Structure 1
Amino acid sequence: MIEFINKLLSKIKIMRIAKILRINSQFFLDVVIFHLSKLFRAKVDDNLIIFGSANGKAFIGNPKYIYYYLKQNTNYKLIWFSKSKSLIRELKLNGINCVYNFSIEAVRLLRKARAVFVSHGWGDILPVRFPPRTVVIQTWHGGFIKIKGKHRYVNKYINSKWTTLTRTKIRYHQFFDYVISASSERKLINIESNVFKFPKKRIITTGYPRNDILFSRETHLLNKLKKKYNIPNSMRIILYAPTYRELKTKKEPFNDKDLIKLNKFC
């Protein structure tokens, strides 16, 4: 049904309708999905947990590692959502239960899920109306300092008059129950709260699950890494992993003082 509606709206020139209404075309589709989802029964299954990431395009991030942890340590029914049919085929070959986002089954499952984990937003799954007992957790995928309290898309479309006029509850403080933070630093928490208009009491400092492996004490992981990159066993490893951006820069990541400190540390 959802895929049919998506194709139908495309045929009637959704871009033109959205332009007339002066709203984003994707936001217009989200409004339609949100209200149609109310037609599906909302009976929560306490054993069902749903995951999605990267706008439904990839199997990555914090939800991925939460999925693996729960799969290895619990008996919950775990389902990964994706908008990529080729990715779904690949994941199923690896024993991962997947569902295509734009399907009746996807809406039905979301309306009965006990918990939902995402890394970017409702685009990872679908912007449905969740039952009161469903807990939706935004695990996020990076830092917030570079944003400096501003997010153009959120301000222009989500926190706009249209969500109020259409009674579409997809603002962050409405759609998500909790947001996790990688740090308890007050400045970071303030920025996170400001960016998403989210109350601080619902921001939980847990660290990012995807980073747990970096603190693993299992020696076989370290030995495997050193063997792969021909690193002597006696040598320490320092990971430098800045946020990837398409824009190129000639700025050096370290100055001479930094390098001297690193040499002393090693």
Structure 2
Amino acid sequence: MNGKLIDYIQIILLLLILLSVNHKPLKKLKLIAKRALVVSLHFCSRAIPKKRNLIVFGGENGRGFRGNTKYLFLEMRKKPQLDCVWISKNDQVVAQLNKQGYQAYKHHSPKGVYYQLRAKLVIHSHSINDDFSKSFLGGAISYNTWHGVGLKKVWGANKKTFSYKILQ
């Protein structure tokens, strides 16, 4: 092996060891490195070609098969030209759906990542971060089926917004 390559590997390993230590200054560096990795993955996922007929669904914060996304999934599966896949963070949900003959995968499994990377359309019930691995969804169109008035809820819950301060 090249001497310089060994030096680079040693430096990277040293940085990884330092990042795993729970010192306050290093926690911030660890957070910055993690965010940089997520943003890089998201940016790279935009370069992967999307399949127009591939739709991934998720619901109940990645832990359930119910609600608006469930019924959209069941209805859209009736269209043979659409490839509908359920992505979940729950092993039991994936097993139950596979047993019923549906395509379902864990969000970090190889097939789950593949379908998230290739999907043109993403349908979810809560937050895209809760239902999927957002870093794999670059370039996809996102539909949130959350019911209610989002602006009222989100703005009312954030104490830093102008509207919250006025209403108090």
- In the superposition, the TM-score normalised over structure 2's length comes to 0.65
Match of 1:127 in 2: 134
Is residue 41 of structure 2 the alignment partner of residue 36 of structure 1? yes
* Alignment match of 1:91 (pick from 97, 104, 111): 97
Alpha-carbon offset, residue 97 of structure 1: 0.7
Separation in 2, partners of 1:19, 1:140: 37
Query: Residue 67 of structure 1: SS of its match in structure 2?
Result: helix
Runs of 4+ in structure 1 deviating by more than 6 angstroms, as ranges, are 15-19
* Counterpart mapping for 1:102-121 below 5 A: 102-121=108-127
Larger relative contact order (C-alpha < 8 A, sep ≥ 6)? 2
Amino acid at match of 2:100: N
Separation in 2, partners of 1:60, 1:18: 43
After superposition, the C-alpha distances for 1:30-63 in whole angstroms (9 at most, x for unaligned) are 7644423444551111121000112211112211
Amino acid at match of 1:43: P
> Which structure has the highest strand share of the two?
2
- For the pair shown, the structure with the greater C-alpha radius of gyration is 1
Match of 2:74 in 1: 68
Alpha-carbon offset, residue 78 of structure 1: 0.5
Does the CA-based 8 Å contact 1:81-1:98 persist in structure 2? yes
Amino acid at match of 1:12: S
The count of residues paired between Structure 1 and Structure 2 equals: 144
Does the CA-based 8 Å contact 1:34-1:127 persist in structure 2? no
Amino acid at match of 1:91: L
Is residue 27 of structure 2 the alignment partner of residue 20 of structure 1? yes
Separation in 2, partners of 1:59, 1:28: 34
Separation in 2, partners of 1:135, 1:145: 20
Match of 1:257 in 2: none
Separation in 2, partners of 1:37, 1:59: 26
* Counterpart mapping for 1:203-214 below 5 A: none
Query: Residue 102 of structure 1: SS of its match in structure 2?
Result: coil
Separation in 2, partners of 1:62, 1:128: 24
Separation in 2, partners of 1:33, 1:98: 24
Alpha-carbon offset, residue 105 of structure 1: 2.9
* CA RMSD of superposed structures (Å): 3.9
Does the CA-based 8 Å contact 2:86-2:105 persist in structure 1? yes
Does the CA-based 8 Å contact 1:56-1:83 persist in structure 2? yes
Match of 1:172 in 2: none
Separation in 2, partners of 1:113, 1:43: 9
Is residue 87 of structure 2 the alignment partner of residue 81 of structure 1? yes
After superposition, the C-alpha distances for 1:202-248 in whole angstroms (9 at most, x for unaligned) are xxxxxxxxxxxxxxxxxxxxxxxxxxxxxxxxxxxxxxxxxxxxxxx
**Structure 1: which 5+ runs fail to align?**
1-7, 160-193, 196-266
Does the CA-based 8 Å contact 2:85-2:115 persist in structure 1? no
